[in-house]
Amino acid sequence: MKFLVATASVVLFTLLKPHPASGATVPVTLDIINAVGAPDGFSRTMVTANGTYPGPLITANKGDTLVVTVNNKLTDDSMRMSTAMDFDGLFVDTANSFNEGSSFVTACPIAPNASYTYTIPLINDQTGTFWYHSQLSVQYVDGLRGALVVYDPEDPLADLYDVDDENTIWAVGDWWHNTSTSMLVTYVASGIVPVSDTGTFNGVGRFNGGPEVPFFVTNVVAGTRYRFRIINQSARNVFTMSVDSHNLTVIETDGTPTTPMTVNEIQMLAGQRYSVVLEANQPVDNYWINAPYTGGSPAVNLNQNATLARAILRYQGAPETDPTAPMSLGPAESELNALVEANLRPLVAQAAPEPDINITLNLVVTAGRAQWNVNNVSYLPPSVPTLVKILDGANSASDFNVTENTFVLPANKTVQVIFPPSDDDEAHPFHLHGNNFWLVKSNTTDVVNTANPIRRDVAGVGAEGTIVRFSTNNPGPWFFHCHIFWHFQAGLATVMASGLDEIREQVHPTQAWDALCPAYDALPANLQ
């Protein structure tokens, strides 16, 4: 199956198929190239994987090993020329932390005309819905992002659905007509976070006054149950998902199998993923899949019209036309049954361990400037990556620059992170790399749940306060940052560096990894 993206010349959303057997090695090649496309009808040069937006779907089975070769073939120096790849949500064990892909934390970026191969064993029987994107600055704003799915041949929830394949992935994201580098200059000068032009659904969108690009179509057969894997690949926008006249039963949250919960609307922050089961049990027709979004004032960008972010659910036998129903933002208030994050429960209950260490993180923006602080520190990427410093003998927080905002933690402990309630009206999706966390207090409730909280790797931090707990039994220097990448670039990030002695004992990088930093450091600024 190929997903069409509306472009000046059609660009294809292609598929990389998995090996059928568990325990296999899954080779993937991503050529990072500049390609001209027009996801919403506005033509521009993008940064892409294999020339598509979103990039090709990567799939594997539980227990496989991903071997992802990234070839940097970028040529347009109006955008970032180096690159780095992060595989959002995948667990990464300590010994392999140098392949985790976080720029200036676990590795240096990949220089132009260079290649690097990320070898990622899928550990701890992890399965679920993930994605990959550039982790260098705000480069993925220019298009370098794609879906990644790890299937479970023994899925305990398999009896709830009939279809789960490359055709049941819904990737939503914000899209921008200007390059990330030009918008970053404006952001730094003004302190006003850029506002997207469009919201896209599987690479297709519309903007005010723009061409009527055909909406993406999901085809279904009456009487069939579909597992749709929804991924918010945004750099900022919050998407609210619903399907006219249909319920959605949540069965996965950021890779965690979830006790089924039926709702009709789901709000998704940047970086979050859900699997939902939709039963095609309505009369044969066309129905709107609603994906309105928020992310800054539309007055800042008159192209923005969140109502135009949508797709079509088309039953077999229905005419190939748009739905006749009005373009709504979702269910009417009287019919609304929205997902409340605090109500999510894992399929297998597990109590959150009592904390050994407590950390409080206060998030503050500097008024009128593109600067965010965590505990009065605005993160700046170091010239020498965190992992390099650890391997060279760093032992305490004083061995890192203050602006690295690195918390040094012992191995095999439970860390509780408290985000106090804030006055900011924008929920910050905080994301932990290489691991996940127990969400013991969601931003959607005042209740602290330590008995059976959901485990996920992206959770909102905002007005109601949030508490998470994570284990350091997988030592490493793990990024913990806001997934609104404009805020991340402006300093809203920390590094949770656990088990430094264990890292030195277990991590033995390759020569290819050793070569990344010298090659990057030797580049002139326009090639970095």
Backbone angles phi, psi at 511, to 5 degrees: -65, -35
Alpha helices (H) along 215-282 = none
Span 38-54, average pLDDT: 98
Span 275-281, average pLDDT: 98
Q: Locate tokens 């090996």: which residue?
A: 19
Measured between alpha carbons, how far is 66 from 118 in angstroms, rounded to an integer?
Answer: 8
pTM for the whole thing?
0.96
* Model confidence at 17: pLDDT above 70: no
* Model confidence at 513: pLDDT above 60: yes
* Model confidence at 4: pLDDT above 50: no
- Note the pLDDT tens digit of each residue in 440-453: 999 999 999 999 99
Q: Locate tokens 């940052």: which residue?
A: 481
Going by pLDDT thresholds of 50, 70 and 90, the confidence category of residue 19 is very low
Buried b / exposed e along 219-242 (16+ C-beta atoms within 10 A): ebeeeebbbbbbbbbbbbbbbbbb
Q: Residue 229 in contact with residue 319, Cβ under 8 Å?
A: no
Measured between alpha carbons, how far is 386 from 497 in angstroms, rounded to an integer?
Answer: 9
Span 172-178, average pLDDT: 98
- Note the pLDDT tens digit of each residue in 473-501: 999 999 999 999 999 999 999 999 999 99
Q: Locate tokens 């690195």: which residue?
A: 406
Q: Residue 81 in contact with residue 90, Cβ under 8 Å?
A: no
Measured between alpha carbons, how far is 233 from 290 in angstroms, rounded to an integer?
Answer: 16
The answer to whether the Cα torsion of 45, 51, 52, 57 is positive or negative is negative
Token digits for 315? Answer: 């039953």
- Note the pLDDT tens digit of each residue in 61-71: 999 999 999 99
Domain 357-527 in CATH 3.40.50.1860: no
Q: Residue 145 in contact with residue 138, Cβ under 8 Å?
A: no
Tell me if the bond preceding 54 is cis, omega within 30° of 0: yes
* Model confidence at 11: pLDDT above 80: no
Report pLDDT for 368. 81
Report percent pLDDT > 70 for the chain. Answer: 96
- What dihedral angle (degrees, nearest 10) is formed by the CA atoms of 405, 406, 407, 412? 150
**What's CA 503's distance to the chain center, in Å?**
26
Q: Residue 301 in contact with residue 333, Cβ under 8 Å?
A: no
What type of residue sits at position 59?
A: T
Going by pLDDT thresholds of 50, 70 and 90, the confidence category of residue 297 is very high
Residue 408: HSE in the Cβ half-sphere, 13 Å Cα cutoff: 17
- Note the pLDDT tens digit of each residue in 69-97: 999 999 999 999 999 999 999 999 999 99
The answer to whether the Cα torsion of 454, 460, 463, 468 is positive or negative is positive
Q: Residue 352 in contact with residue 448, Cβ under 8 Å?
A: no
Span 354-370, average pLDDT: 94
Helix, strand, or coil (residue 12): strand
- Note the pLDDT tens digit of each residue in 306-356: 999 999 999 999 999 999 999 999 999 999 999 999 999 999 999 999 999
Report pLDDT for 22. 65
* Model confidence at 8: pLDDT above 50: no
- Note the pLDDT tens digit of each residue in 398-430: 999 999 999 999 999 999 999 999 887 779 999
Measured between alpha carbons, how far is 193 from 186 in angstroms, rounded to an integer?
Answer: 9
Span 26-46, average pLDDT: 98
* Model confidence at 375: pLDDT above 70: yes
Domain boundaries, the chain: 357-527
* Model confidence at 20: pLDDT above 90: no
Span 373-384, average pLDDT: 97
Token digits for 444? Answer: 């959607």
Contacts of 1 (CB under 8 A, 6+ apart): 15, 165, 166, 167
